[in-house]
Structure 1
């Protein structure tokens, strides 16, 4: 009895020791890899293992990577897709909700599989991301399936890789490439919604105790022409006395533009009037230029003249007067101001640009 007990303990000890294997390279030389990109404000991360072709050109797709859903002869899955890599599960994570090929997918981490076919591949995003490979794949755990077209490659890719391409402000294409085949799929994020949510969260922190944060949020909405009613409320805080934004030209200018887009022209005019009291030379110059772009010539000329009166004899205000005269069609007066501004320029590119402006005025052409 004692001998049996000792033998049993010895076996347990041996099994425990054997299970504590030392660290080595991944089996089969399949390199572990991680690729991560931010698309919009969404972090996308893929963890996978990279098998190599190893001289098996022409025997990867449809052979090593079997077609469709197969019985791997191990585990409890009788219809398993390819693991989209080697060894452990390939996983893909999204920090915010996304759409894959136009279909919605919640934020989270997913096991990523591919059912390969020469003309059409099925991408599978599984709620189970912790199993080994696809031996225990269960279709009832699918969060999303989408179909995409594989694409042929001119050059062979030795080791399987995932790459991000065709990136925009809110979207990207992710492609699995191996041997002479690429399987791409488009990921889109709701960048505007994600950004607005971040603003709402951060303005409740210490970042909401200064006018700059409220101004940034309101200005972003103006630039993207979205959420303007909320932007106006954020502008209330940006121009409020509590944080000093009531004495900043930029906050009033931004508020004026929001009001204008909301069709509140009278309030917009009142807001910019308040802001001009705090405007610096460059503020006034850029505001006048924006008025010219909006074809508000009379208002622009008035600002150029006020700026010249406040900051006489500078390059900026002399050029402002040149633009004002040119807008009125008085090219002779415009030329006079431009020639006065020229000696004040030292930077070679600006000087060359000024010489071009002077030539245009001599030819009787508008410089605006």
Structure 2
């Protein structure tokens, strides 16, 4: 009985210890957003400390560790517990479909600078002592790179695009790159469908923003048309009609699109017309943009900004004479500082100031 009591007290005392700093391999977490998806890695950061790493501290190839289940195992890709990678959405990792979730992250390094990345469904174990290939979600070859000395093991993200990024483990003079990709447009649209079931689904702005995303990225046109019809039903205005016009044009219904855009322009305020004009400029439709900016000066002749925007459109088209006339018109109206600065900048470029 006394021995049992001592054992219980010892266990209780141990379990009540304070949280202390972890040395010499401190814990870390790194994350990266790609599209609206997140990739995060939780790991521990050992240091080189003058040691020989590859082929010594970290053996080449697959190795039995003499503990746990004693299977041939990869490197734990860090220290202490498993390094864990978490994907917020389904992804392609080195070209293979991987469901959203958390995975144990392991690597293999070979003498010829080739290697493998392994994602294991068993991510709660300590290190790779209990590694079991039966739990692999991914095993893919990678090509290691040589880098400047990195004293403490570090994960980072690089080579980011709209839909992809590269997770890189850097340690000593080796880099282990892993490409991760997301079907961003599909994820955004699927997320929009869920969001529209909530508060924003009661607003025309919510439906318009979803349709606008689909329009800009040329995806899910049928869904986008349903959304914008809902938005127009809630609030028929310049923005809702402009997006619907764009979708109609994208689906080959140009005459209908032009008629709807004409109606939208008739409803537009100064700021909306100005934004639309710059959108046309960005699409290379300079003459049409100039028509819109001229209309804005006619509707709002006392606004210096409308004349400045018209001058900018002429300058972009290469019509120096009309550009100078309109920039000077803007400056004559005592414009706000930002408008003045833009007009003066262009006039200097045109040699007229």
TM-score range, shorter chain: 0.7 to 0.9
For residue 125 of structure 1, the aligned residue among 119, 126, 129 is 119
Q: Are residues 303 and 15 of structure 1, via their aligned partners in 2, closer, same or farther at CA, if it must alter by over 3 Å?
A: closer
Provide the residue aligned with 2:133 in structure 1: 139
- 2:268 corresponding residue in structure 1: 279
Q: 1:26, 1:32 within 8 Å by CA — same for their partners in 2?
A: no
The two structures have a TM-score, normalised by structure 1, of 0.84
The answer as to whether partners of 2:82 and 2:104 remain within 8 angstroms in 1 is yes
Deviation at 1:339, TM superposition (A): 3.6
Q: Is the 1:91–1:110 Cα contact (8 Å) retained in structure 2?
A: yes
Query: What's the offset of the Cα at 1:291?
Result: 5.1
The aligned counterpart of 1:81 is 74
Q: Find the aligned partners of 1:276 and 1:130 in 2 and give their Cα distance.
A: 59
Q: Secondary structure at the match of 2:267?
A: coil
C-alpha distance in 2 between matches for 1:36 and 1:111: 16
Residue 340 (structure 1) aligned with residue 329 (structure 2): yes
Q: CA deviation at 1:273?
A: 2.5
Corresponding residue for residue 304 of structure 2: 315
| 2:221 is the counterpart of 1:228 | yes
- Per the TM alignment, residue 127 of structure 1 is displaced from its structure 2 partner at its CA by 0.6
Distance, in Å, in 1 between the alignment partners of 2:312 and 2:107 is: 62
Matched, 1:270 2:267: no
Comparing 319-328 and 6-15, the one that deviates more: 319-328
Instruction: State how far apart, in whole Å, the 1-side matches of 2:126 and 2:157 are.
Output: 25
Match of 1:165? 158
Aligned length: 348
**Aligned partners of 1:322 and 1:18: how far apart in 2?**
78
Q: CA deviation at 1:309?
A: 3.4
- 1:53 equivalenced with 2:48 (yes/no): yes
Q: Does 1:253 align with 2:233?
A: no
SS at match of 1:277: helix
Alpha-carbon offset, residue 229 of structure 1: 2.2
Q: CA shift at 1:336, angstroms?
A: 4.8
User: Are the aligned partners of 2:327 and 2:343 in contact in 1 as well (CA < 8 Å)?
Assistant: no
Shift of 1:110: 0.6
d(CA) in 1 for partners of 2:323 and 2:7?
Answer: 96
**Cα pair 1:288 1:300 within 8 Å, conserved:** yes
SS of equivalent residue, structure 2 residue 228: helix
Specify every segment of 5 or more residues in structure 2 that has no aligned partner in the other structure, as ranges: none
CA distance in 2, matches of 1:180, 1:88: 23
2:201 corresponds to = 208
Match of residue 104 from structure 1: 97
How much does 1:64 deviate? 0.5
Instruction: Report the CA distance between 1:342 and its aligned residue.
Output: 2.9
Q: 1:270 to 1:148 in 2, by over 3 A?
A: same
| Residue of structure 2 in register with 1:3 after alignment | none
Query: Retained in 2: the 8 A contact 1:172–1:186?
Result: yes
* Cα distance per residue 1:274-316 (max 9 Å; x no partner): 212321123234435555655584x656545543432234324
Structure 2 CA distance for aligned equivalents of residues 66 and 227 of structure 1: 49
Change (3 A) 1:301 1:52: closer
Deviates more, 1:275-284 or 1:167-176: 275-284
Is 1:188 aligned to residue 188 of structure 2? no
Query: Structure 1 unaligned runs (5+)?
Result: 1-5, 363-368
- Checking the alignment, whether the CA contact within 8 Å between 1:45 and 1:94 is kept in structure 2 is yes
Q: 1:265 Cα deviation (Å)?
A: 1.3
8 Å CA contact retained: 1:70, 1:80? yes
The answer on 1:217 being equivalent to 2:184 is: no
Between Structure 1 and Structure 2, whose CA radius of gyration is higher?
Answer: 1
**Partner SS for 1:83:** coil
1:41 aligns with 2:30: no
Inter-partner Cα distance in structure 2 for 1:53 and 1:323:
57
Shift of 1:28: 5.8
Choose which of 345, 349, 358 in structure 1 pairs with 2:341.
Answer: 349
The answer to whether the 8 Å contact 1:77/1:138 transfers is: no
